[in-house]
C-alpha cells in the first residue's frame, strides 16, 4: 500500500505531468500483457510436450479406446507413482498457501459479506483451496482422479481472481504473482507426471479406465489457454487503439530523423517496418522495388 503522504505526492505529480503518468500506465499494461504471455507460452509448451511424449510413448498409435491412460493409477499393485505425485503436488500447494498473500484464496469468496452481487455472473465456477482440500480427501463425495485435475483447479482459483478484479486491484496482483509461482513449480513436476502417465498406459481388458483422462485435462488446458490468448489479443487491440488516438502528426525534424533511421535498418527490419505501415493501409505495396511513404498520412508521433 502507498502511504497517504506518498499518494498525495503521486497525485500532485500526475496533475503536473499527466502525459508522463499516461505513458507509465501504458507501460504497465504492456508489461502485464507480456507477463501473461510468458505464462501462456509455458502452457503451450506443456500441451505440445504432452502430445509429443504421448506420440513417441505409444509408438505413433492413434489415441482411441484401444489406448488410453488410467487417470487415477488404477493398477495399484504395479503403479505407485500417482500417489507419490499427488504428495509432491500437495507439497507445492502447501508452499503456495503458506505465502503471505494467500489469505484471499484459502476459503470461498464471501459474496454476501463483500456484497459482490455480480460475482456469480462473471465467475461461473468458483474455486478456493479449502474446496480443493476437501475434494482431495473425498469429503464432498467426489475425489480427484489425476494430478492434472488438481493442477487445473489451483489455476482456476487465481484466474478467477484475475478475471473478476481489475488488473490494478491488490487481489489481481496477488493472484498473478502466486499463479506464476505455482506454474513455475508445476513445470518442475511435469516431466514426472508425463513419465508416470506413460507407465500407466493400459490395453483393453486390463483395467477399467476412469471418466477423466490426462487427455481430457490437457485438452481443457489447451482450450483455457486459447481463450486467454484471444482475450490478450483483444486487450492488445484496445491498447493499440488508445495509443493511436493519442497520436499527433510528426514535426519536420521528427520526420527527418525517422527517414534517416529507416535508411540504417537492415533489409529484414525494414520489411517488418513496412509491414506495420501496411496493416492500416491495405493498398500500400511492401514488396515493390521502390515504395513511396507519405509520412503525413501514415506516420504519427505519440501526443505525450
Chain segment 14-48, per-residue pLDDT in tens: 444 444 566 676 777 777 777 777 777 777 877 77
Surface-to-core class of residue 269, CB atoms within 10 Å of its CB (0-12 exposed, 13-18 middle, 19+ buried): exposed
Name every residue whose Cβ is closer than 8 Å to that of residue 248 and which is 6 or more positions away in sequence.
300, 301, 302, 303
Digit-coded pLDDT (tens) for 46-61: 777 777 776 665 433 3
Q: Which of 34-38, 87-91, 279-283 tops mean pLDDT?
A: 87-91
Mean pLDDT for 259-288 is: 76
Which secondary structure element, helix H or strand E, spans residue 229, and what is its range?
helix 214-245
**Domain residue limits, the chain:** 80-201
Q: What percent of the chain is modeled with pLDDT above 70?
A: 70
Predicted local confidence at residue 298, as pLDDT: 52
Report whether pLDDT(243) > 70: yes
Q: What percent of the chain is modeled with pLDDT above 90?
A: 26
With contact defined as beta carbons under 8 Å apart, do 284 and 291 qualify? yes
Digit-coded pLDDT (tens) for 67-83: 333 333 333 333 345 68
The C-alpha atoms of residue 220 and residue 120 are separated, in whole angstroms, by: 21
Question: Is the pTM here over 0.85, yes or no?
Answer: no
Report whether pLDDT(231) > 50: yes
Predicted local confidence at residue 78, as pLDDT: 35
The C-alpha atoms of residue 43 and residue 250 are separated, in whole angstroms, by: 41
| Fold of the 80-201 domain | Histone Acetyltransferase; Chain A (1.20.920)
The C-alpha atoms of residue 129 and residue 240 are separated, in whole angstroms, by: 37
C-alpha of 108 from chain center: 23
With contact defined as beta carbons under 8 Å apart, do 154 and 90 qualify? no
C-alpha of 246 from chain center: 29
Long-range contacts, 149-155 (Cβ 8 Å, 24+): 149/71, 149/212, 149/217, 150/86, 150/89, 150/93, 151/89, 151/186, 151/217, 152/217, 152/220, 152/221, 153/127, 154/93, 154/96, 154/129, 154/182, 155/179, 155/182, 155/183, 155/224
Q: Which of 88-97, 132-141, 211-220, 272-281 tops mean pLDDT?
A: 88-97
Amino acid at each position: 500500500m502507498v502511504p497517504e503522504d506518498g499518494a498525495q505526492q503521486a497525485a500532485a505529480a500526475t496533475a503536473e505531468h499527466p502525459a508522463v503518468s499516461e505513458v507509465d500506465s501504458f507501460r504497465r499494461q504492456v508489461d502485464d500483457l507480456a507477463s501473461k504471455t510468458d505464462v501462456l507460452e509455458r502452457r503451450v509448451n506443456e500441451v505440445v510436450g504432452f502430445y509429443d511424449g504421448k506420440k513417441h510413448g505409444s509408438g505413433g498409435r492413434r489415441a482411441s479406446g484401444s489406448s488410453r491412460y488410467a487417470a487415477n493409477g488404477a493398477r495399484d499393485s504395479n503403479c505407485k507413482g500417482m500417489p507419490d505425485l499427488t504428495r509432491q503436488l500437495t507439497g507445492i500447494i502447501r508452499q503456495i498457501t503458506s505465502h503471505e498473500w494467500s489469505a484471499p484464496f484459502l476459503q470461498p469468496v464471501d459474496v454476501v459479506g463483500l456484497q459482490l452481487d455480480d460475482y456469480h455472473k462473471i465467475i461461473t465456477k468458483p474455486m478456493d483451496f479449502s474446496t480443493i482440500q476437501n475434494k482431495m480427501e473425498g469429503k464432498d463425495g467426489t475425489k480427484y482422479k489425476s494430478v492434472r485435475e488438481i493442477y487445473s483447479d489451483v489455476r482456476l482459483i487465481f484466474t478467477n481472481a484475475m478475471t473478476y478484479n481489475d488488473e490494478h486491484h491488490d487481489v489481481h496482483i496477488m493472484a498473478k504473482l502466486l499463479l506464476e509461482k505455482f506454474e513455475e513449480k508445476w513445470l518442475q513436476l511435469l516431466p514426472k507426471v508425463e513419465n508416470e502417465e506413460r507407465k500407466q498406459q493400459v490395453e483393453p481388458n486390463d483395467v477399467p479406465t476412469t471418466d477423466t483422462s490426462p487427455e481430457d485435462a490437457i485438452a481443457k488446458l489447451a482450450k483455457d489457454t486459447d481463450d486467454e490468448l484471444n482475450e490478450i489479443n483483444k486487450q492488445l487491440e484496445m491498447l493499440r487503439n488508445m495509443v493511436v488516438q493519442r497520436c499527433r502528426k510528426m514535426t519536420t525534424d521528427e520526420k527527418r530523423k525517422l527517414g534517416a533511421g529507416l535508411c540504417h535498418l537492415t533489409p529484414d527490419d525494414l520489411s517488418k517496418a513496412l509491414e506495420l505501415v501496411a496493416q492500416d493501409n491495405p493498398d500500400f505495396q511492401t514488396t515493390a522495388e521502390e515504395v513511396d511513404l507519405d509520412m503525413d498520412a501514415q506516420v504519427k508521433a505519440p501526443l505525450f
